[in-house]
Amino acid sequence: MAEALLRSRRFLPLFITQGLGAVNDNLFKNALVVLALYRLAHVGPILVALAGGIFILPYALFSSTAGQLADCHEKSRLIVLVKYWELVLAVLAAVGFLTGSFAVLMAVLLGLGVQATFFSPLKYGILPDHLSEAELVAGNGIIEAGTFIGILIGTIAGGALIIMDHGPLVVSAAVILVAVGGIAAAYAIPKAPAAAPSMRPRWNIFGETAGLLGSAAEHPAVWFAILAISWFWAIGAVVLAEFPTIARDALHADGHVVTLMLGVFAVGVGAGSLGVSRLQSGARLSIRYVGYAGIGVSVFTADFAVTALHVRSLPTIGAVLGAVQGWHMLLDLLVLAVFGGMYSVPLDVLLQERAEASHRSRMIAANNVVNAFAGVIGAGMTAGLYAAGLSGALILLLAAAMNLAVAVWIIAQARRVEAIAG
């Protein structure tokens, strides 16, 4: 089924558009992270932790409007407009890199968060318009895998290009070119009629957001999916913030090792996303997989953290690949990421299937709001724990313990939710 979808015009252009967007977001973000971590000394880890919160804060503020626009307008045209928005931000990013202004770069990061807020209900809302119910698991799995392939490419490119002699110039050119490619792909996405053409967006951000969350909470299966996905965002914000800092402080490593670690993580999530769709062979996936995948995330996160506590120094990629402890940590990252991909895809499908077609984009937007709050809280807690003197490894151990408790709760709730979902 995956091969057929990738040959289909109703899926391939969206896949490419989403993948290139993931490349650009992560090319920019990892270039910024590496630049901050190695130029701003002690402030770097705090800035890295806060960067995740800055990127997802717009989800909390603008998701209600984004969902309404996606439901009441033709989606493919809006996707094109959003991709032009990305091009404007890419030009501003070039200004920030070439002038060395972290203020401009953080403003661009915020702008990319706003752009992603409006793109999310479009890309997930359009999938059920173009795919059958039997194709949704595979479609979501491929989108997730493509996203993390894009993350891998962008992560490696951002970290590798920024440390070149003319790194800021090369990164600037790259983000602009990728944005142009995304626009070209977006023009090929087939049209998707408005789900609620008579609705008119309302611009009372806080009132509409509260109403959106209230509407989502009235549907138990949808609300369960939102809560479980949002926890994944929170724990993900914590885990991803630790990799660069552990590489610097525990391994005494350079920026190439940071890129290697993030790249291995991206490969793992992509593999898990594809793997879980293969398990189901096209039918709607049982969400009982989700809780057990969450346990796997906790086990291998904890093992990674314990290994980091005992490692001495692995300063280069060669040193990491030449040491048993280095391979141990990379394997932990890969496996915990595979479980992460297996966790997220079934929940995305549950949300899409159980939301009413006329409200689907708004339910995805409600998910984004709760995701944003969870991610901001996770990033804020990470920054606070750093300020209190905890090491990255200890923060990961704490996160693994909390995630284990949530995974047990998901297992306990899965049968009831599946009965409700029918």
Residue 282, pLDDT above cutoff 60: no
Confidence class for position 418, pLDDT limits 50, 70, 90: low
Tokens of 68: 């309404």
Tokens of 376: 């901001």
Q: Write the pLDDT tens digit of every residue in 368-399.
A: 888 878 877 887 788 788 778 888 889 999 99
pLDDT at 222: 87
- Cβ contact 320:314 at 8 Å: yes
Cα angle for residues 161, 164, 165 (degrees, 5° grid): 145
- Cβ contact 209:59 at 8 Å: no
Ranges 28-37, 68-77, 167-176, 254-263, most confident = 167-176
Fold exhibited by the domain 2-192+208-421: Growth Hormone; Chain: A; (1.20.1250)
| Closest-CA residue to 260 (of 183, 340, 315) | 315
Q: Write the pLDDT tens digit of every residue in 204-235.
A: 677 777 887 888 888 888 889 899 998 988 88
Full-model pTM: 0.76
pLDDT at 306: 93
pLDDT at 369: 85
- Cβ contact 65:212 at 8 Å: no
Residue 358, pLDDT above cutoff 90: no
Tokens of 73: 């307008």
**Which of the two residues, 376 and 107, has the higher pLDDT score?**
107
Domain segments of the chain: what residues? 2-192+208-421
Residue 338, pLDDT above cutoff 60: yes
As a whole number, mean pLDDT of residues 294-299 equals 95
Measured between alpha carbons, how far is 381 from 19 in angstroms, rounded to an integer? 30
Tokens of 156: 């490696």
Residue 236, pLDDT above cutoff 70: yes
Quote helix, strand, coil % in the chain, to nearest 5: 85, 0, 15
Burial classification of residue 15, based on how many CB atoms lie within 10 Å of its CB (0-12 exposed, 13-18 middle, 19 or more buried): buried
Residue 327: what are its φ and ψ, rounded to 5°? -65, -35
What is the rounded average pLDDT for all residues in the chain?
84
